Every structure is written in structure tokens, then in C-alpha cells.
Chains A and B, each alone.
Chain A
């Protein structure tokens, strides 16, 4: 995703497309949906679900809901992205509720982007997505910092740098089987600490 902020021209174009959609030409939403699908998926939905297949379903439902309810959207001189983001977050919590599964991942990433709730803000979608990704990364790093050094390295090499298992094992000077055990334990340890400050009673509702 590009990190460049949207220009005034792009915002004008977005406003025009939204107005067209509100006038009945729903297909005019297509460029907007295409632009924001990746930031919604990569920074809002997938990090709160942790499952690619579910995340794709939620993204599709989010975009469909946006098209269905575009008539209720009020243009306030800023991007439509915060509105799409809020729909996505609501859908994520619907999934957690329906599946009766722990909301620990979603709750652990509760750090609302301030611009989202500020109607006077002109924050750009790309900036918001970048800000959100940085916030996620900070939460991840905070958890990694409390892990044993070898666990932190195992996660860093395999899940962040995405090196092959063989290379990870070489870097840590262990066999592949031992690296598998290290990564397994590392993810277990990470899970125990991640979001551990979230009150347990908020998980099941």
C-alpha cells in the first residue's frame, strides 16, 4: 500500500464517486472499494482475526455493506475510509460473537486511531492505515520484548522476515527439529503475553 497521503484532487474524485453512488449508480463505488480493500484487509481485519479465509469473507461483507448503506454516509470533507474501517471492525466483532470464540486478538489490538472519531479531522486513509500498522507493530514489539531472546529471534526470523525453516535453524545454530520446537514454544509464549492486560470479562460478549 502506498503511504502517500491523498491529494485534494483524489478526495474530490472520491466525493464525486460517493455522490454518484448515492444517486443510484452503485458501480461507481468500485474504484473506492478497490483502493481501500488492501488497507482494510491488512491493517484492520486480518490482524484482528488471524485467519485469512475469515478475513476475506469479512472484507467482502464489509464492502457489500458499504455499498448497501452508502445512502446513509454523509460526506464531511474527509475520506470515506474511516467509515469503511468502522464497518469492518463491527463485522470482525460479529464474527467473534457468532463463532463464540475468544476476542483476545481483537481486544489486544484496541487502539483506536484518533482521527476515526474526530469528525473535524481531515486525516487521510493511507496515513490512518500506516498509523494503525505502526500501532499494531508497537503492540507486537512490546510482547516480543518480554519473551526469552531465542523465542524472540525465532519469531522474528520465521514470521517477520519469513525465512525458510532451514535458514532459521542455521541462524540459531540448531537442527530444524529443534527450531520447530523453539518456534512452537515462542508462539505459545507470545500468545500468553499478547493482550494479557485486556480484562478477561470482555472476551465472551
Chain B
């Protein structure tokens, strides 16, 4: 099990020689770090990790960057450029994703404001006209399907079956266990979204 003293020593303590036998705590920490490196190489660096792991992962990233292994994807680059231009011009910064170039957006804006406003008024009038009958229909629809039970992996549930008993040797490997639980929950969420659920 990783102790506080072990963690303190990671950044400041002496490093064993390659031939030295690893303790169970060191093996557990090494496995956690190896998983972090895996994810980083796949472009999925977890946002949360211990300060020690972050410090070591930063070193690993510096080595990769110096080797020319840190490319900025074109889509990401374009999104950052667009976001920077918007930020500089006074608009809201865009974090990522596809964006419309600001020059095009400006050129198109004026006529669409008038047309858009008219469309909104017309759509609101139509919605008001039909709203009441549709609402009754929706309620019937929901009641008809209410008995359909949610799958287990879409519901709140204990993590014990997933993780199992935690042996003392693996007590320090909480990060890996959290990753496992997160991945399991994410699978259920994605499945629900892919089939059109909310």
C-alpha cells in the first residue's frame, strides 16, 4: 500500500537502481503512472491526478515534445486560432470544436438578423396554436411507455461488483479503480446517448 512517506519520496527521494526489487507499493504506483502515459499518448490525459504523477507526466511530455512527438492537430489548431481571433476582437472565446470564421460570420449577420427575427415570431405563433393538443399527446405517450424498465447500466448502482475486494497490496491503486468505474459509467452513458436517449 502506498504510504504518505512513499508519496513524499517520489519527487525528492533517491531513485533505486534498475536491478533493485520493487515493493508492491512501487509496482502499484508504476502501474498507475504507466496507465497515465498510455492515456496521454492517446491524447486523453485525465484532468485529475496526484501532484506527483502530474510532475512526472510533465517530464514525460517534455521528453516527447523534444522528440517531435507533440503535434497539434489541424482541427484543434484552427479552433484555437478562431478562438484567439474572437477573444482579441472582443467576442466570447470558443474552447474547441468547429467554428465559423469571423469574417464570414460578420458578412452574413445583418440579413439573417431580420430574417431570423421574422421566423422566430412566426414559429412562436404556430407553436402556441398547436401547443395544447400536442401536450396531451405527449403525456399519453409517456404513460404508455412508463413501465419499460431502465437497464441496470443506466441506473445508479454500487461499484462493488465491478471492483471486487481490494487487497492490501492494491490499496494504493485507487486511481486505477476510479478509472475503471468512470469507464464503466461512461459506457452506459454513451450507450444511452447513441440510442437517442437523454
| B84 cross-chain contacts in A, Cβ below 8 A | 33, 60-64, 66-67
Total interface residues in chain B, CB < 8 Å? 55
Total interface residues in chain A, CB < 8 Å? 62
Pick from A5-13, A40-48, A120-128 the stretch touching chain B. A40-48
* Subset of 30 A-B contacts with CB under 8 Å: A27-B103, A30-B81, A30-B85, A30-B101, A42-B68, A46-B61, A50-B65, A51-B58, A52-B70, A56-B80, A60-B83, A63-B80, A65-B88, A67-B85, A105-B59, A139-B66, A150-B18, A162-B64, A177-B27, A180-B30, A180-B33, A182-B18, A183-B37, A187-B33, A187-B56, A189-B15, A190-B63, A191-B11, A191-B55, A191-B59
| B76 cross-chain contacts in A, Cβ below 8 A | 56
Q: Besides the contacts A34-B77, A42-B72, A105-B59, what 17 more A-B pairs have beta carbons closer than 8 Å? A: A27-B103, A29-B85, A33-B84, A37-B77, A38-B77, A50-B62, A52-B40, A53-B47, A60-B87, A63-B80, A63-B84, A63-B85, A158-B37, A159-B67, A160-B64, A165-B38, A178-B22
- Decide if B15 touches A64 in the complex (CB within 8 Å): no
Q: Give the B-binding residues of A (Cβ under 8 A).
A: 26-27, 29-30, 33-34, 37-38, 41-43, 46-47, 49-53, 56, 59-68, 102, 105, 109, 133, 136-137, 139-140, 148, 150-151, 155, 158-160, 162, 165, 177-185, 187-192, 194
Chain A proximity of B61: nearest CB distance (Å): 4
- Decide if B16 touches A185 in the complex (CB within 8 Å): yes
Question: With the chains together, A8 CA to B181 CA distance in Å?
Answer: 57
Chain B proximity of A32: nearest CB distance (Å): 9
Is B60 located at the chain interface by the 8 A CB criterion?
Answer: yes
- Decide if A181 touches B66 in the complex (CB within 8 Å): no
Question: With the chains together, A98 CA to B38 CA distance in Å?
Answer: 29
Question: With the chains together, A170 CA to B73 CA distance in Å?
Answer: 31
Within 8 A of A (CB), among B94-148: 101-103
Is B17 located at the chain interface by the 8 A CB criterion?
Answer: yes
Question: With the chains together, A124 CA to B61 CA distance in Å?
Answer: 27
User: Would you give the 0/1 interface string for B3-45, flagging 1 where the beta carbon is closer than 8 Å to chain A?
Assistant: 0000000110001111000100011011101100110110101
Question: With the chains together, A165 CA to B10 CA distance in Å?
Answer: 22
Chain B proximity of A139: nearest CB distance (Å): 7
